[in-house]
Amino acid sequence: MAQQDKDSGGTKVRLDKWLWAARFYKTRSLAAEEIDKGRVKVNGQVAKASREPRLGDTVEFRQGTLARTVQVRGLSGVRGPAPQAALLYEETAESVSARERHAEQRRLAPEPAQAIAQGRPTKRDMRQLRGLRQGVGSDPAPGWNERWSASLDD
């Protein structure tokens, strides 16, 4: 049974549980781990997992490589559907613009794996490479330097 909070008129909820209920972290233990590492701040101060967020608090945290800042708009200790979870917070304008810039950079940056047109070296390619390293054979396979980005020149 939840205790009533006089200031917010809602229920008291731990910070780790709120972050999980607001769907910022997949599990409550992941949220607690991030808090324990000092990566979550409430109103500019490093928070503990047992801290109780209040309406209007500013929460700063990292989701992967992206830093996010949100304001608490509702309290819930129950993880519900995403539309319901979105009502628990409001992301700041700076955080939204940073997230959009980050998404644009990811979209424009080429995927490193897509630069390899030929895929993995074949068994034959590996034999030829081993032969070159051991000094067997004088010339690399035809078109070797055109196919692979690494060259064998010393």
Which CA distances in Å does 107 have to 62, 98, 100, 103, 138?
20, 14, 10, 6, 44
Give the model's pLDDT for residue 2.
Answer: 44
Give the model's pLDDT for residue 80.
Answer: 93
pLDDT at residue 76 greater than cutoff 60: yes
| Domains of the chain by residue range | 1-136
Give the model's pLDDT for residue 92.
Answer: 95
CATH number corresponding to 1-136:
3.10.290.10
